[in-house]
């Protein structure tokens, strides 16, 4: 299960000073045989875990407090997108956000609901083989979340299509809402930032592009992986994603060469949000 550890010196938090450390455990979780197997049926059906390094989710986390885990994973596959995940009932409810989260309340970011993911997936960062969302996954943000109203029934809110919540992450904070856009399509939602002290015009995905786990970019993540795994499952070239992959592969090769020559490439430190 995800560890709520502080980032290394290269993963400087972008939170303002004077606030609680994001991702701090609100409880001591226990691990029990999964009660979420039906929720994860689609996730399991799409993967061969002898070929994919992704977590199986054999065990679920039992929530025992108001604060729950959340994460955002930056995923470069056939196209770049951000996977927004909220812990609920032992799994991670998941939405694919093509443009990534925005701190500007005027922006209504499309968020397509996808299959639930196992709780352990919240710490995953690495390379996924072809056939399982092939590409590179970066842990872009993580922390805790809770409903805006303590009396809110989360299942009712999700069924209604409007979930208001607060985030306390390294990059995303404050009040947010997920709103379903069409009654006949439960997958289509909007992710919107509410107006508060954490809202603003800064483009957070451009301002803080690096991993909160490793402090690196896609090239650093790829360079840390077994090259045979990557080359045997290289995605098709073409379009913007293909161009990005080409430059990332070239940069990863340079990092590996530097490491082989005793000159390990260093991840760039995260900038601090002020």
Whether residue 58 contacts residue 32, with contact meaning beta carbons closer than 8 Å, is answered with no
Query: What is the pLDDT, as a whole number, of residue 225?
Result: 53
- The torsion of the CA quartet 15, 18, 22, 28, rounded to 10 degrees, works out to 170
pLDDT per residue as tens digits for the range 15-50: 333 344 444 444 333 333 333 444 656 555 554 545
Q: Could you give the number of structural domains in the chain?
A: 1
Residue 62 lies in a domain: yes
Residue 44 lies in a domain: yes
Residue 42 lies in a domain: yes
Residue 100 lies in a domain: yes
Residue 86 lies in a domain: yes
Query: What is the pLDDT, as a whole number, of residue 107?
Result: 98
Residue 152 lies in a domain: yes
Residue 209 lies in a domain: yes
Non-local (6+) Cβ contacts of 182 within 8 A are: 188
Whether residue 161 contacts residue 180, with contact meaning beta carbons closer than 8 Å, is answered with yes
DSSP string, 174-185: EEEEEEEEETTE
Segments forming the whole domain that contains residue 155? 31-216
pLDDT per residue as tens digits for the range 110-147: 999 999 999 999 999 988 876 555 789 999 999 999 99
Residue 247 lies in a domain: no
Query: What is the pLDDT, as a whole number, of residue 40?
Result: 56
The answer, yes or no, to whether residue 51 has pLDDT greater than 70, is no
The answer, yes or no, to whether residue 5 has pLDDT greater than 50, is no
């Amino acid at each position: 299960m995800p560890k709520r550890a502080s980032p290394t010196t290269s993963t400087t938090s972008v939170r303002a000073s004077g606030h609680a450390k994001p991702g701090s455990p609100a409880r001591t979780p226990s691990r029990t045989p999964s009660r979420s197997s039906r929720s994860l049926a689609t996730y399991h059906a799409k993967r061969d875990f002898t070929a994919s390094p992704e977590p199986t989710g054999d065990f679920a986390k039992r929530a025992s407090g108001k604060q729950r885990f959340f994460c955002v994973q930056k995923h470069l596959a056939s196209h770049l997108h951000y996977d927004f995940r909220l812990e609920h009932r032992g799994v991670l409810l998941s939405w694919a956000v093509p443009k990534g989260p925005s701190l500007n309340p005027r922006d209504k970011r499309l968020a397509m609901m996808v299959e639930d993911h196992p709780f352990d997936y919240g710490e995953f960062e690495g390379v996924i083989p072809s056939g399982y969302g092939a590409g590179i996954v970066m842990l872009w943000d993580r922390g805790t979340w809770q409903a805006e109203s303590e009396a809110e029934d989360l299942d009712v809110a999700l069924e209604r299509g409007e979930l208001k919540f607060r985030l306390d992450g390294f990059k995303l904070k404050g009040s947010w809402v997920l709103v379903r856009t069409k009654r006949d399509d439960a997958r289509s939602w909007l992710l919107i930032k509410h107006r508060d002290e954490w809202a603003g015009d800064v483009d957070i995905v451009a301002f803080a592009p690096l991993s909160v786990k490793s402090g690196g970019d896609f090239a650093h993540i790829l360079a840390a992986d077994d090259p045979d795994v990557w080359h045997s499952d290289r995605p098709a070239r073409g379009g913007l994603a293909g161009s990005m992959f080409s430059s990332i592969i070239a940069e990863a090769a340079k990092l590996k060469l530097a490491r082989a020559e005793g000159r390990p490439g260093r991840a760039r430190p995260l900038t601090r949000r002020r």
